[in-house]
A and B are shown apart, each in its own frame.
Chain A
Amino acid sequence: MGFRILPKEVESLWTLFTAPVIWAVHFLVCYVWAAIYCAKKGPIDAGFPLLRGGIGAATIVALLLILLAAYLAWRQWGFGVVDPPHDQPDTRSRILFQGFATLLLSALSFVAVIFTALPALFLEACFP
Chain B
Amino acid sequence: MSARGTKKGGGTAKAPGSDDRQKREAQEKRLRAVWKSPSGWRYWTSVNNTDIGVWYASTAFMFMLFAGVLALMVRTQLAVPDNDFLSADVYNQAFTLHGTVMMFLFAVPIFEAFAIFVLPGMLGTRELPFPRLSAFGFWSFLLGGVFVCGSIFFGAAPNSGWFMYPPLATSEDAGIGADIWLLGLSFIEVASLAAAVELIVGIMKFRAPGMRINMMPLFAWYLLIVAGMILFAFPPLIAGDILFEAQRLLDWPFFDTSRGGDPILWQHLFWIFGHPEVYIVFLPAIALMAMIVPTFAQRPIVGYSWIVLAAVGTGFLSFGLWVHHMFATGLPTISLAFFSAASEAVAIPTGVQIFVFIATLLAGRVIFSVPMLFGAGGLAIFVIGGLTGVMVAIAPFDWQAHDTYFVVAHLHYVLIGGMLFPIVAGLYYYYPLIGGKLLSARLGKIAFWLMFVGFNVAFFPMHLTGLRGMPRRVFTYPEELGWDWLNLISTVGAFVFATGVLVVVFDAVRPKGKALDASRNPWNAGTMEWATPPSENWGMRSIPEVKSRYPLWEEKELLREIDEGRWYLPDAQEGRREALMTSVLDGEPQEVFRVPGTSYLAFICAMTLGGVFIAMTYHAWWLALISAVAFFVALMGWIWTGTGQIPEKNEKDVGRGLKLPLYVSGQPSAGWWAMFITMIGDGTAFGSLLFGYFFYWTIHEDYTAGLPGPGMVWPLVALGLFVAAWLIMIISKRLNSAGRVGLFRLALVASLLLTVAGSGAGLAGPWLYDMNPELHVYPAIVWTLVIWTVAHAGVGVIMQAFCLAGSFAGRLTPRYDKDIHNVVLFWHFMAVTAVFTFAVIGLFPRAL
Chain A contact residues, CB within 8 Å of chain B: 11-13, 16-17, 20-21, 23-24, 27, 30-31, 34-36, 38-40, 84-87, 89, 91, 93-94, 96-98, 100-101, 104-105, 108-109, 111-112, 115-116, 118-120, 122-123, 125-128
* Chain A residues, CB < 8 A from B342: 27, 112, 115-116
Q: A85: nearest residue on chain B (CB-CB)?
A: B304
Known A13-B213, A89-B548, A101-B309: A127·B333 in contact at CB below 8 Å: yes
Answer whether residue B452 sits at the interface, using C-beta atoms and an 8 A cutoff: no
Answer whether residue B312 sits at the interface, using C-beta atoms and an 8 A cutoff: yes
* Chain B residues, CB < 8 A from A126: 332-334
What is the bound-complex CA distance between A123 and B332, given in angstroms? Answer: 11
* Chain A residues, CB < 8 A from B584: 13
Q: How far is the CB of A59 from chain B (nearest CB, A)?
A: 12
Q: Is the CB of B214 within 8 A of A108?
A: no
Q: Is the CB of B335 within 8 A of A105?
A: no
* Chain A residues, CB < 8 A from B305: 84-86, 97, 100-101, 104
User: In chain B, residues 698-717, which have Cβ atoms closer than 8 Å to a Cβ of chain A?
Assistant: 698-699
Q: How far is the CB of B604 from chain A (nearest CB, A)?
A: 36
Answer whether residue B680 sits at the interface, using C-beta atoms and an 8 A cutoff: no
Q: How far is the CB of A55 from chain B (nearest CB, A)?
A: 9
Known A13-B213, A126-B333: A87·B548 in contact at CB below 8 Å: yes
Q: How far is the CB of A37 from chain B (nearest CB, A)?
A: 9
**Proximity bits, B681-703, A CB within 8 Å = 1, else 0:** 00000000000000000110000
Answer whether residue B798 sits at the interface, using C-beta atoms and an 8 A cutoff: no
Q: B213: nearest residue on chain A (CB-CB)?
A: A94
What is the bound-complex CA distance between A87 and B217, given in angstroms? Answer: 11
Q: Is the CB of A123 within 8 A of B337?
A: yes
Q: How far is the CB of A36 from chain B (nearest CB, A)?
A: 6
Q: How far is the CB of B244 from chain A (nearest CB, A)?
A: 22
Known A24-B316, A30-B338, A87-B548: A93·B309 in contact at CB below 8 Å: no
Q: How far is the CB of A52 from chain B (nearest CB, A)?
A: 9
Q: Is the CB of B316 within 8 A of A116?
A: no
Answer whether residue B319 sits at the interface, using C-beta atoms and an 8 A cutoff: yes
A-B contacts, 20 of them at CB < 8 A, read A21-B316, A23-B317, A35-B332, A36-B698, A39-B698, A84-B304, A86-B214, A87-B549, A101-B305, A101-B309, A104-B306, A104-B308, A109-B316, A115-B342, A116-B338, A116-B345, A118-B341, A119-B334, A119-B341, A125-B334
Per a CB cutoff under 8 Å, which of B215, B300, B349, B548 touches A108?
B349
**Proximity bits, B310-334, A CB within 8 Å = 1, else 0:** 0011011101100000000001111
* Chain A residues, CB < 8 A from B333: 123, 125-128
Q: Is the CB of A89 within 8 A of B215?
A: yes
A contact patch SS: helix
Per a CB cutoff under 8 Å, which of A31, A40, A105, A120 touches B313?
A105
Q: B341: nearest residue on chain A (CB-CB)?
A: A115
Q: A34: nearest residue on chain B (CB-CB)?
A: B334
What is the bound-complex CA distance between A89 and B319, given in angstroms? Answer: 34
What is the bound-complex CA distance between A109 and B315, given in angstroms? Answer: 12
Q: Is the CB of A94 within 8 A of B316?
A: no
Known A108-B313, A108-B348: A27·B320 in contact at CB below 8 Å: yes
Q: How far is the CB of B700 from chain A (nearest CB, A)?
A: 9
Q: How far is the CB of B491 from chain A (nearest CB, A)?
A: 40
What is the bound-complex CA distance between A115 and B699, given in angstroms? Answer: 28
Q: A14: nearest residue on chain B (CB-CB)?
A: B584
What is the bound-complex CA distance between A118 and B341, given in angstroms? Answer: 8
Q: How far is the CB of B211 from chain A (nearest CB, A)?
A: 9
Task: Add 5 more A-B contacts to A94-B212, A101-B312 (CB < 8 A).
Answer: A31-B335, A84-B304, A112-B342, A125-B334, A126-B334
- Give the 7 A-B CB pairs with smallest separation, nearest first: A119-B337, A97-B214, A20-B316, A38-B332, A104-B309, A126-B332, A89-B547
**Proximity bits, B768-793, A CB within 8 Å = 1, else 0:** 00000000000000000000000000
What is the bound-complex CA distance between A8 and B342, given in angstroms? Answer: 33
Per a CB cutoff under 8 Å, which of A108, A115, A123 touches B334?
A123
* Chain A residues, CB < 8 A from B210: 89
User: In chain B, residues 396-433, which have Cβ atoms closer than 8 Å to a Cβ of chain A?
Assistant: none
* Chain A residues, CB < 8 A from B335: 31, 34-35, 38
Q: A27: nearest residue on chain B (CB-CB)?
A: B320
* Chain A residues, CB < 8 A from B215: 87, 89, 94
What is the bound-complex CA distance between A101 and B600, given in angstroms? Answer: 44
Answer whether residue B84 sits at the interface, using C-beta atoms and an 8 A cutoff: no
* Chain A residues, CB < 8 A from B443: none
Q: A28: nearest residue on chain B (CB-CB)?
A: B320
* Chain B residues, CB < 8 A from A13: 204, 213, 584-585
Q: Is the CB of A98 within 8 A of B214?
A: yes
Q: How far is the CB of B64 from chain A (nearest CB, A)?
A: 33
Per a CB cutoff under 8 Å, which of A20, A34, A115, A118 touches B312?
A20
* Chain B residues, CB < 8 A from A21: 316
Answer whether residue B173 sits at the interface, using C-beta atoms and an 8 A cutoff: no
* Chain A residues, CB < 8 A from B304: 84-87, 97
Q: A107: nearest residue on chain B (CB-CB)?
A: B309
* Chain B residues, CB < 8 A from A109: 313, 316
Q: How far is the CB of B690 from chain A (nearest CB, A)?
A: 13
Q: How far is the CB of A118 from chain B (nearest CB, A)?
A: 6
* Chain A residues, CB < 8 A from B698: 35-36, 39-40
Q: B346: nearest residue on chain A (CB-CB)?
A: A112
